[in-house]
Chains A and B, each alone.
Chain A
Amino acid sequence: GAGVSQSPSNKVTEKGKDVELRCDPISGHTALYWYRQSLGQGLEFLIYFQGNSAPDKSGLPSDRFSAERTGGSVSTLTIQRTQQEDSAVYLCASSRVTGAGANVLTFGAGSRLTVL
């Protein structure tokens, strides 16, 4: 697609429920990132996918968080047994590494998660 698409744009859930957030990256972008932005905070790296390589999961805050990327394209971030501290905007980005070796990320509009 023309941009990075995320859904849902807003999700309200009850504590203890599972949620799935979806990201559809730009066609041809091999790298995909998930970040979390809490109120008044910067962006917290969660997970990174690059091609067929094993994902970098070093930023996932707990084992309740997981992500997968199917067919090297669409990604789903799953949060199990949600807690109130999981409330945040979850941002997805994709990139095509440039010839200079830099990752120029294009971000989606985000999925705002509210856990009651």
Chain B
Amino acid sequence: AQSVTQPDIHITVSEGASLELRCNYSYGATPYLFWYVQSPGQGLQLLLKYFSGDTLVQGIKGFEAEFKRSQSSFNLRKPSVHWSDAAEYFCAGHQTGANNLFFGTGTRLTVIP
């Protein structure tokens, strides 16, 4: 079945430390992949997207993600985390022509001083 999986439910990092949030996908062909962020009480905001081409994509707020076909992964990274990055992060994907965007269960990020 088509899906995306986020193996980490909750991650805690210190402010200024680097961050990597994991996402694995299960699709027959290369899917379209996205990362969204949901801050407390807010709607989901698109951080970045991968369609094709360069496997390293840059997003807003200093985030980037790398598509690795060999590992079926699309991990989100940030070199230096800020306290305002504390939020819930969702990986999502869909295949060409598919209507439904499948979401992972989310990873909650806590940032400690």
Q: Which residues of B contact A116 (CB under 8 A)?
A: none
A110 to B99, CA, bound (A): 20
A45 to B34, CA, bound (A): 16
With A42-B90, A102-B49: A50-B103 Cβ-Cβ less than 8 Å: no
Give residues of chain B (57-113) contacting chain A, Cβ–Cβ below 8 Å.
90, 92, 94, 96-97, 99-106
A105 at the interface (CB under 8 A from B): yes
**Cβ-defined partner of B101 (8 Å) among A98, A103, A110:** A103
Q: Which residues of B contact A108 (CB under 8 A)?
A: 43
Q: Which residues of A contact B34 (CB under 8 A)?
A: 104-105
CB atoms of B101 and A45 under 8 A apart: yes
CB atoms of B52 and A100 under 8 A apart: yes
Q: Which residues of B contact A59 (CB under 8 A)?
A: 100
With A33-B101, A42-B104, A45-B100: A91-B43 Cβ-Cβ less than 8 Å: yes
A108 to B44, CA, bound (A): 8
A41 at the interface (CB under 8 A from B): yes
A103 to B49, CA, bound (A): 10
A97 to B101, CA, bound (A): 12
A98 to B52, CA, bound (A): 13
Q: Which residues of B contact A56 (CB under 8 A)?
A: 99-100
Q: Which residue of B lies closest to A95 (CB)?
A: B101
A71 at the interface (CB under 8 A from B): no
- Kindly supply a per-residue 1/0 record for chain A positions 29-63, scoring 1 wherever the CB is within 8 Å of any chain B CB and 0 otherwise: 00101010000011101001010000010110000
**Cβ-defined partner of B44 (8 Å) among A41, A91, A100:** A91
Give residues of chain B (3-39) contacting chain A, Cβ–Cβ below 8 Å.
32, 34, 36
Q: Which residues of B contact A91 (CB under 8 A)?
A: 43-44
Q: Which residues of B contact A43 (CB under 8 A)?
A: 90, 92, 103
A102 to B104, CA, bound (A): 18
CB atoms of B43 and A110 under 8 A apart: yes
Q: Which residues of A contact B94 (CB under 8 A)?
A: 102-103
Which residues does B use to contact A, with CB under 8 Å?
Answer: 32, 34, 36, 42-46, 49, 51-52, 90, 92, 94, 96-97, 99-106
A-B pairs, 5 with minimum CB distance = A42-B105, A43-B103, A102-B32, A107-B44, A109-B43
